Structure 1
Amino acid sequence: MSIEPDSRGWLVISVSTASAPDSLRVQVWRKLRSLGALYLQQSVCLLPARPPVVREIRRLVDRVRHQGGTARVLPMAFTDPAEEQAVIAELNAARDTEYAEVLERLPGLRQELADEQARGNATYAEVEESEADLQRFRTWMGKVAARDYFDAPAGQAARDAVEQAAEELAAFEEAALHAEAPRLRAVKEK
């Protein structure tokens, strides 16, 4: 199969797993969702023909065919610029929904930092827990950004919010360091 990357082109992907193991259907669905595919109808979706997408689709098609399914990938170009813009808007709307979820959940981490500091509970254990939470947000953002092919409008606000949380965590960590330093000196003096 020869699919060539094209920064302006598109791929129409059609997959059938009817005669393949049930697990393949789930694998295909998850992979296409992770790539941000826009479904045109059941088992037919559209993705921009970017190099990382082309690479992943080649792998997916090989897996489908080796496990008894069928797959077709057709390069295409829009003949109507308005239709292409409508598809891009739909893809951006899907990414904006994902970014909105990040923005909706992120204040919980920031509030937890503020609450712990207000309780005088700025400790190394709390820093570790919050670092793990922040890393989950960064990982989540990385996955959304990887399928944000057209710079969805909410992306920058979500990136800024994650960075703001990182700055607040750094300040919390500094407070934890200062809070634990006197305790460590007191232990050494005994």
Structure 2
Amino acid sequence: MTNEPWLLVSASTAGAPDSLRVQVWRKLRSLGALYLQQSVCLLPARPEVAREVRRLADRIRHQGGTARVLSLALTDPDERQAVVAELNAARDAEYAEVLQRLPELRRELADERARGNATYAEVEESEADLERFRAWLGKIAARDYFDAPAGRAARDAVDQAAAELAAFEDAALRAEAPRPRVDRP
């Protein structure tokens, strides 16, 4: 959407408890804010984002800080494109970290399988690892407002790891399942 509204958020925690600064930074980071300068950032004004920003601004004010949330339009197409490119670059960097760390899980599955160590305990451990990757990917996707290019590769890599884990689980089941008894006459 080329004419979508944006939120300009200015937040200051001076005079507020020290913990508020970290809370504000974490929340804006989780929303995928693009910092224009210290304490000033930009976000697309999508309903879920606007709701979270309003809640954050209220929290800042109630704890002694100051916050302004202004709605604006990026009327220059080149400027809008530059902002979207910066947001996508930030998401691509996050997706790249997922892609960088995921091969470790896949290597571990291959190594355990090669050692003949396809066990239920290994399946559980690897499932927990895969769920962490899925949760991490979900958090990134929630702030990927403009479909950053690396998102598809990260989702595909997590899906591939899930398929490899399913195959590993099948091997563990075959290795640990009781063998049917064969009665000989």
Question: Could you say what the CA RMSD is over the residues aligned between the two structures, in angstroms?
Answer: 1.2
- Matched with 1:64 is 60
1:176 maps to 172
Q: Which residue of 1 aligns with 2:137?
A: 141
TM-score (norm 1): 0.92
Q: Please, what TM-score do these two structures have when normalized by structure 2?
A: 0.94
Q: CA deviation at 1:56?
A: 0.5
Matches within 5 A, 1:11-160: 11-160=7-156
> Which 4+ stretches in 1 moved above 3 angstroms?
none
Distance, in Å, in 2 between the alignment partners of 1:123 and 1:74 is: 55
| Alpha-carbon distance in 1 for matches of 2:74, 2:92 | 23
Q: Distance in 2 between matches of 1:164 and 1:152?
A: 20
Give the match's secondary structure for 2:177. helix
1:3 is aligned to: none
d(CA) in 2 for partners of 1:36 and 1:185?
55
CA distance in 2 between counterparts of 1:165 and 1:87 reads 33
Q: Identity of aligned pairs, percent?
A: 80
Task: State the alpha-carbon separation in 2 of the partners of residues 146 and 8 from structure 1.
Answer: 18
Matched to 1:39, the amino acid is Y
How much has 1:185 moved relative to structure 2?
Answer: 6.0
Structure 1 distance, partners of 2:75, 2:47, is 22
User: 1:4 corresponds to which residue?
Assistant: none
Residue 98 of structure 1 aligns with an amino acid whose one-letter code is E
1:13-56 CA deviation, whole Å, 9 max, x = no partner? Answer: 00011010110011000000110100000000000001110110
Count of residues paired in the alignment: 179
Report the alpha carbon displacement of residue 147 of structure 1 after superposing the two structures with TM. 0.3
CA distance in 2, matches of 1:35, 1:79: 23
